[in-house]
A and B are shown apart, each in its own frame.
Chain A
Amino acid sequence: MSGLPGLYNDFVAIFLMMAGFYVVIAQGNLVKKLVGLGLFQTSVFIFYISMGKVAGGHAPILAEGITVYSNPLPHVLILTAIVVGVATTAVGLALVVRINEAYGSVEEEDIQAKDRDAERREAVADPTTDRGADT
């Protein structure tokens, strides 16, 4: 087997990972950032699972007449990672909901603009206090 065709699983994983990475750093919407994180996450899953594949192997459940099994270890790691992933995504969503309640927006730029406004107003209202001390 020559080089490139056997590596396409890695390329798929990298492509998806970069797609997720792009969403996280380039898009302003927090919910969409979470979707991007999800993409990133699944790309890692695909990478691990494709690593555990053995050519001609079968699912790692003992059965008669089968001698070659795929590697069960990555499966275990990813199985738990998926469920942990949904739990952490839920924490992220909860944070987004609270941010929306506090700022009325889930766009990163709106939130930063509001923060800057608030700081400016504070500084105008009380010019003597040192802003670094109370934040």
Chain B
Amino acid sequence: MLIALAAIRLQDLFAVVMLFGVYSFMTATLFMDLDAVDVAFTEAAVGAGVTTVLMLSSLRLTSRWEQRPKHSPLVPLIVVGITGAALIYGTLDAPLLGDPNAPVHQHVAPRYIEQGPIEVGMPNMVTAVLASYRGYDTFGETVVIFTAGLAVLLLLGIQESPETKPGRTAIGDHQLVLRVVVKVLIPLILLYALYVQFHGDYGAGGGFQAGVIFATGFVLYDLVFGEGDARMVVPPRWLHRLAALGVLIYGGVGVISLLAGKAFLDYSVLAHDPVHGQHLGVLLVELGVGITVFAVILAIFYALSGRRRVS
């Protein structure tokens, strides 16, 4: 909370963005404390990693310093105070923290917890609910991510410029320590992302986290070794296809189950044994999600970092 307040007061947007990264990391530890390991994982990778890098890239294109607002902050403060008071009044009869009899725990959750491991056959209930019970939602969200990627590409496009030639880096060639450390780190990051991707049904993790972590590896490579080198490894035009491919895999699994005479995204037909089929379906779907998230995040990063300041 204090970090959030500091972030509001500061005029230096660079510091604001960095503080926001720290704030995200604190939030992740809070989620960990509240038993939400998968969410903490995602928040740490997304909030503290990707969002900060994206915001910094766009700061580079705009300006670092903020002007002091000219109108007085009194009216917004009053509006905010009244809204906050109304909300607090609304929470006074809300269920208490950790109350097992709260309405939220009564409806579908007990079924997910009791039947999930039996019907879907995987210990991580979050992955089971995500990919199987609520497969429609997740499909919709994957499409939203895909659409957001498209929107960024429409707005900015991925530009080519002399600085994106291979061998040119933003920080110069003298950062030997940084280069060596990053060289050691990147294979570990990529390997870890693959582990998270394919182990998501047993432990914490899944396609969303894996895609983000995988993209982070390439973002790091891009930052240290230069845009040109990174684009030789993963050319931008691949990313468009990869993003579409991920959605296609997800939708394709749904269509297959439809053709086999079950409901859309009912994975039990994919193998002879329903539980086995569920498992296979979840793996495929998570793979689709991972590919889309990876491609979209990296494409957005390319679009923002490749753009040159117009002056």
Which A residues are closer than 8 A to B by beta carbons?
1, 3, 6-12, 14-23, 25-29, 31-32, 34-36, 38-39, 42, 45-46, 49-63, 68-91, 93-98, 100-101, 106-107, 109-110
**Min CB distance, A70 to chain B, in Å?**
4
For B307, list chain A residues within 8 Å (CB): 97
Alpha-carbon distance between A110 and B24 when the two chains are bound, in angstroms: 31
Checking A9, A19, A94 against B151 with a beta-carbon cut-off of 8 angstroms, the contacting residue is A94
Contact A93 B54, beta carbon cutoff 8 Å: yes
Contact B208 A83, beta carbon cutoff 8 Å: yes
Binary contact readout B17-37 vs A (1 if CB under 8 angstroms, 0 otherwise): 100100110010011001111
B204 beta carbon closer than 8 Å to chain A: yes
Checking B20, B69, B126, B156 against A75 with a beta-carbon cut-off of 8 angstroms, the contacting residue is B126
Binary contact readout B105-143 vs A (1 if CB under 8 angstroms, 0 otherwise): 100110011001100000111100110001001100100
Q: Please name the residue on chain A nearest to B300 by beta carbon.
A: A90
Contact B61 A28, beta carbon cutoff 8 Å: no
Contact B129 A83, beta carbon cutoff 8 Å: no
Contact B156 A89, beta carbon cutoff 8 Å: no
Alpha-carbon distance between A70 and B129 when the two chains are bound, in angstroms: 13
**Min CB distance, A126 to chain B, in Å?**
29
Shortest Cβ-Cβ A-B pairs, 6 listed: A6-B96, A55-B98, A87-B148, A62-B123, A26-B76, A70-B35
Contact A53 B97, beta carbon cutoff 8 Å: yes
For A80, list chain B residues within 8 Å (CB): 130, 137-138, 141, 208
For A11, list chain B residues within 8 Å (CB): 88, 91
Alpha-carbon distance between A58 and B116 when the two chains are bound, in angstroms: 16
From B4-12, B228-236, B262-270, B275-283, give the one contacting chain A.
B4-12
Contact A18 B97, beta carbon cutoff 8 Å: no
Q: Please name the residue on chain B nearest to A77 by beta carbon.
A: B137
For A52, list chain B residues within 8 Å (CB): 34-36, 104
Sample of 20 more A-B contacts, CB < 8 Å, known A25-B80, A82-B208, A89-B51? A22-B76, A31-B13, A35-B17, A42-B24, A46-B27, A53-B34, A55-B99, A59-B204, A60-B124, A61-B125, A71-B113, A76-B137, A77-B137, A83-B293, A84-B141, A86-B46, A86-B212, A88-B144, A93-B304, A94-B304
For B70, list chain A residues within 8 Å (CB): 28, 109
Q: Please name the residue on chain B nearest to A47 by beta carbon.
A: B91
**Min CB distance, B13 to chain A, in Å?**
6
28 cross-chain CB contacts under 8 A: A10-B88, A16-B4, A22-B80, A25-B80, A26-B76, A27-B69, A31-B59, A39-B7, A45-B39, A46-B27, A51-B102, A52-B34, A59-B36, A61-B124, A61-B125, A62-B125, A73-B109, A79-B126, A80-B141, A80-B208, A82-B46, A83-B145, A86-B54, A87-B297, A88-B148, A93-B304, A106-B62, A107-B66
For A31, list chain B residues within 8 Å (CB): 13, 16-17, 55, 58-59, 62, 66
Contact A73 B297, beta carbon cutoff 8 Å: no
Contact A29 B66, beta carbon cutoff 8 Å: yes
Contact A57 B130, beta carbon cutoff 8 Å: no
Name which of B36, B59, B297, B303 has the most chain A CB atoms within 10 A of its CB: B36
Given that A42-B24, A86-B46 are contacting pairs, would A14 and B88 also be in contact in the complex, using a CB cutoff of 8 Å? yes
Contact A55 B51, beta carbon cutoff 8 Å: no
For A61, list chain B residues within 8 Å (CB): 37, 123-126, 202-204
Checking A9, A29, A94 against B155 with a beta-carbon cut-off of 8 angstroms, the contacting residue is A94
Alpha-carbon distance between A97 and B23 when the two chains are bound, in angstroms: 24
Contact B1 A16, beta carbon cutoff 8 Å: yes
**Min CB distance, A44 to chain B, in Å?**
11
Contact A62 B96, beta carbon cutoff 8 Å: no
**Min CB distance, A100 to chain B, in Å?**
5
Checking B20, B50, B137, B303 against A38 with a beta-carbon cut-off of 8 angstroms, the contacting residue is B20
Checking B39, B61, B84 against A15 with a beta-carbon cut-off of 8 angstroms, the contacting residue is B84
